[in-house]
Amino acid sequence: MPNFWKFFLLLLMSAVIIAVWVMEPPQNQLGEVSRLFYFHIPAAWVTVLAYFVAMSQSVLYLRRKELLYDIKASSAAELGTLFCILATITGSIFAKITWGGFWNWDPRQTSILILLLIYGAYLALRSAVREPERRAALSSVYCIFAFPAAVFLVFVTPRVYQSLHPADSIIDTSGRIQMPAPILLTLLASLFCFSLIFIWIHRLQVAIGRDPHREGKL
């Protein structure tokens, strides 16, 4: 049954949405807004996942010189940027409630802005080169160098500098998972659903990107 997983995704994501509002907020001191946690973390996770897919497909393009890998890489980078914007918006709503303003130039906020600029430049580079092979080669090299920067900006920078962003909201300093089981289960289900949604949209984007004439018919 090829469409079984789509039906499963519909049910599981609906269950996650209901569970998010039925359960107690994950951090009582932050109140209702802390429910955003179940969407903010998966959006950030999919950002890193998408940029990793973009980097690995770029490596494959440089090795095999097939434009399909370039389409896969660019589609993943576009989706990564979309989820990064979602993570930034949900994060700034948190910031408004906890830090008093939507934008505070906190190391976490600054690093996510730099990340958006890096991948914005990737998309600008792609739109500036007309010849497909040349565009694919240039953007693949750029994407391979951009991914380590993404890892550094997401995981290292906010921990090196003093940040207001909680670093131990899932795993505490001793390396243990510190949240209650229902919250952890809902978060894991949300992470799984977001990953499936990413894979689904990515597949569709690649199918459309393989034949540019198709775009006008959709």
Partner 1 sequence: MSTNLVAVIAVLIIWLGIFLYLVRLDRKVKKLNRK
List residues binding partner 1 (CB under 8 A). 6, 9-10, 13-14, 17-18, 21-22, 32, 197, 200-201, 204, 207-208, 211, 214, 217-218
Please say which residue, 158 or 209, places its beta carbon nearer to partner 1: 209
Please say which residue, 21 or 145, places its beta carbon nearer to partner 1: 21
Residue 29's nearest CA partner among 100, 97, 108, 88 is 97
Q: CB of 104: closest distance to partner 1 in angstroms?
A: 26
Please say which residue, 101 or 182, places its beta carbon nearer to partner 1: 182
Q: Computed from CA positions of residues 40, 41, 47, 53, in that sequence, does the dihedral angle turn out positive or negative?
A: negative
Q: CB of 201: closest distance to partner 1 in angstroms?
A: 7
Residue 20's nearest CA partner among 11, 7, 5, 33 is 33
Please say which residue, 18 or 177, places its beta carbon nearer to partner 1: 18
Q: CB of 102: closest distance to partner 1 in angstroms?
A: 20
Q: CB of 200: closest distance to partner 1 in angstroms?
A: 6
33-57: burial string, b at 16+ Cβ within 10 Å, e else: ebbbbbbbbbbbbbbbbbbebbbbb
Q: CB of 17: closest distance to partner 1 in angstroms?
A: 5
Q: Collect all residues with Cβ–Cβ distance below 8 Å to 152 and sequence separation of at least 6.
A: none
Q: Which burial class, exposed, middle or buried, applies to 17 when counting CB atoms under 10 A from its CB (0-12, 13-18, 19+)? A: middle
Please say which residue, 9 or 149, places its beta carbon nearer to partner 1: 9
